[in-house]
Amino acid sequence: MTVGVRLDEAAWGLLHQALDLYRANSRAVGQLRHQVARLEEPLRIAVAGPWRSGKSTVLNALMGEEVAPVEGADGAFTWYEDGAAPRATAYPVGQPAQELTVVKSATGMRVDLGWGAGEVRDIVVQWPTRALRQVTLIDTPALTGAGERGRVSVMDRVLRDADAVLFLTRDGRDSDLRVLESGRESAVGQAAPVNVIMVLSRADETGGGRIDGLLTARQLARRHYRDPRVGALAVNVVACSGSVGLAGRMLSESDFGALAVLAGVPRAELEAHLLSADRFCRGDLPVRMDPDLRAALLDRFGLFGIRLATTLVRSGFDNRVKLSAELIRRSGLTELREAVTRCFIDRRDTLKARSALAAVETLVRAEPVRGSEELVGTIEQILAGAHEFRELRLLVALRHTRLGFDAELAAEAQRLIGGDGVGLAARLGVEHEATVQRLWEVAADAQGRWRDRAEDPILPLAQRRGAEVVVRSCEGMLAELAAGGR
């Protein structure tokens, strides 16, 4: 049993249809070939956001190493991709590419762009790490306010060059959302907000550094997630403190030692020394600690991070591994990585196809030729018909209105259409090691029940339509099981 056209095949077909139509236009052909090649490349995830929102820090936290930013790379996109050996290349506009010196450090690397001549648009850093096996990460320059006409805005470039975006904002304020909304003018942009995760960054600063700040930040993220305006822009909203997460990932034994010493100071006494960064750096601690070490700790953990870490050590996270894991968890980094896996990496094909569709749409809009309306038609057809997009649209709808389903049904529908992860087990809500037999039973059962709903004339149309999508998802799973079982 096949369930409709496969999205990746449809995208491939569309690109070739466009290649045929634009065969006389060598520039367009170049662009389209590039898109075809991109289908096979690792997923590109850009970290974008306004000025000082913590983009480079979040990227480091995801990599688990200090590799960003490249010094002096203002305005350039920095691509971090897998490579055999550390290497960095700068691509200045209108000049030959230039190799940059990579200085390895204990915690990562440093690259200095170090020259003034010419505008550099891209820097490609190759860095051997597992984190880059499946994805290419892009550190981007600060988003400029909307309305800077004449040149391609940073956001436009991000949406064009990346398959998915981590959109950082410190508080999800209006002006930030508007930048994100500016990317939704095209048909592909409007189809489903699959390619953006909104990150409330620097979450440790919420509450002015109070110890419960990260919890508050998580609540804020949930509030944003339920806001329909955000729902139209992002698949997910996660609060994350890049600096605390990074500090957790790179926690060394000596870091742990210093923190443990601090945790040894009676709470009330330590609190007085953690009143302000100044007091921590300059005050007379009851334990001996080098001012340089204090400054370094403060620099990496922040005042909040030190407060959190010492509290955690006191409450039982009493070795490096435990503390590191808990810092990563509390910082929201774990949740962010899970969201990246679930929303981006697992949906790689959908995102790649989406990029291809968007590229063809952009080309057709910029250089319409005879017959290009047909391409637009194909794009719309794919957007409307591809099951992946219908699932994603239903997800957004369920998130905000539940379509009138009760909470339990809405949750089931959401799970079945991949809202909790696109793997079979995640969709069916069964344990990972479940047998094919069991998966089949659960899927068939769900299919039967949702089919009844889809065909129940008493239900409102929206619910029946929604149920149809769920049925299609179940059919897809059964087909997958059948194919696997052969």
Partner 1 sequence: MAGIWLDVLDEIARTCSAHGRDDLLQTVRQKRTQLLDPKLRVLVIGEPNQGKSQLINAIINAPACPVGDGRTTVLPTVVQHAEAAYAAVAQAPPPAPGRSAGTATVVAVERTPVALNQVAAGVAGTVGRRPGGGPAYVEIGVPRALLGAGMVLVDTPGTDEIAAVGGAGPVASPSRADTVLLVSDSTRELSVTELDMLLHVMRSHPNVVVVQSKTDLVADWRAVAERNRQHLADAGIPAPVIPVSATLRLRAAAADDRALNAESGFPTLIARLQRDMSGKADQLARVAVQAVARTVVEQLAAPLRAELATQEAEEQSGPISRLHAAQREVDELRRCSTRWQNSLNDEVADLLSDIEYDLRDRTRQILRAVDEAFDTADPLVAWDTFQDWLERSLVEAAEANHEWLIQRCDWIARRVAANFARYGYDVLPPWSMTMPEDFGERLPELERPKVDRFTTGQKLFTGMKGSYGGMLMFGLATTLAGMPMINPVSVGIGALFGGKSIRDESKQLLRRRQATVKTAIQRHVDEFFVRVIRDCRDAARQVQRMLRDHFTGLTEELQEAIVQSFRSAKQEADTDAALREQRQREIRLKMTRLAALYEQSQQLSGPRSAPGLLEPRA
Ligand X SMILES: Nc1nc2c(ncn2[C@@H]2O[C@H](COP(=O)(O)OP(=O)(O)OP(=O)(O)O)[C@@H](O)[C@H]2O)c(=O)[nH]1
Q: CA torsion angle for 284, 287, 291, 297 (degrees, to 10)? A: -120
Number of helices (H), then strands (E), belonging to the chain: the values are 22, 11
Give the interface segment with ligand X, choosing from 54-62, 256-264, 346-354, 384-392 (CB under 6 A). Answer: 54-62
461-485 vs 407-416: helix axis angle to the nearest 10?
Answer: 40
For 322, the 3-state DSSP assignment is helix
Kind of pairing between the strands at 102-104 and 120-126: unpaired
Q: Does 56 bind Mg ion (CB under 5 A)?
A: yes
Radius of gyration from C-alpha coordinates of the chain: 25
Closer CB to partner 1, 303 or 424, in the complex:
303
Residue 57 binding partner per list Mg ion, ligand X, partner 1, none, with a CB distance cut-off of 5 to 8 Å that depends on partner kind = ligand X
Q: What part of residues 204-243 is at the interface with ligand X (CB under 6 A)?
A: 204-205, 207-209, 241-243
Q: Does 217 bind partner 1 (CB under 8 A)?
A: yes
Residue 220 binding partner per list partner 1, ligand X, Mg ion, none, with a CB distance cut-off of 5 to 8 Å that depends on partner kind = partner 1
Contact 198/172 with Cβ under 8 angstroms?
yes
Extract the tokens encoding 417. 């259409």
* Burial bucket for residue 325 (CB in 10 Å: 0-12, 13-18, 19+): middle
Extract the tokens encoding 346. 């697992």
Find the shortest distance in angstroms from Cβ 74 to partner 1.
14
d(CA 54, CA 332): 14
Number of neighbours of residue 252 by Cβ within 10 angstroms:
12
Q: Does 299 bind partner 1 (CB under 8 A)?
A: yes
Extract the tokens encoding 102. 């990579």
Residue 278 binding partner per list ligand X, partner 1, Mg ion, none, with a CB distance cut-off of 5 to 8 Å that depends on partner kind = partner 1
Closer CB to ligand X, 241 or 355, in the complex:
241
Report the sign of the C-alpha dihedral through residues 149, 154, 158, 161, in that order. positive
Count of residues near Mg ion by CB under 5 A: 3
Residue 218 binding partner per list partner 1, ligand X, Mg ion, none, with a CB distance cut-off of 5 to 8 Å that depends on partner kind = none
Find the shortest distance in angstroms from Cβ 209 to ligand X.
5
Q: What part of residues 128-147 is at the interface with partner 1 (CB under 8 A)?
A: 145
CA 253 to chain centre: 30
Interface characters, 144-163, with partner 1 (x: CB under 8 A): -x------------------
Find the shortest distance in angstroms from Cβ 315 to partner 1.
23
For 48, the 3-state DSSP assignment is strand
* Burial bucket for residue 129 (CB in 10 Å: 0-12, 13-18, 19+): middle
Residue 142 binding partner per list partner 1, Mg ion, ligand X, none, with a CB distance cut-off of 5 to 8 Å that depends on partner kind = ligand X
Determine the straight-line distance between the first and last CA of the chain, rounded to whole angstroms. 13
Q: What part of residues 139-158 is at the interface with ligand X (CB under 6 A)?
A: 142
Give the interface segment with Mg ion, choosing from 62-70, 217-225, 249-257, 319-327 (CB under 5 A). Answer: 62-70
Closest to 291 (Cα-Cα) out of 299, 300, 303, 282: 282
Extract the tokens encoding 129. 């790490």
Q: Does 175 bind partner 1 (CB under 8 A)?
A: yes
Find the shortest distance in angstroms from Cβ 141 to Mg ion.
7
Q: Does 211 bind partner 1 (CB under 8 A)?
A: no
Kind of pairing between the strands at 120-126 and 164-169: unpaired
Give the interface segment with ligand X, choosing from 35-43, 202-210, 359-367, 441-449 (CB under 6 A). Answer: 202-210
Interface characters, 67-86, with Mg ion (x: CB under 5 A): --x-----------------
Q: Which residues in this chain contact partner 1 in the complex, by CB under 8 A?
A: 51-52, 145, 170-171, 173-175, 202, 205-209, 213, 216-217, 220, 223, 275-281, 295, 298-299, 302-303
Return residues touching Mg ion (CB under 5 A). Answer: 55-56, 69
Q: Which residues bind ligand X (CB under 6 A)?
A: 49, 51-57, 69, 142, 201-202, 204-205, 207-209, 241-243, 302
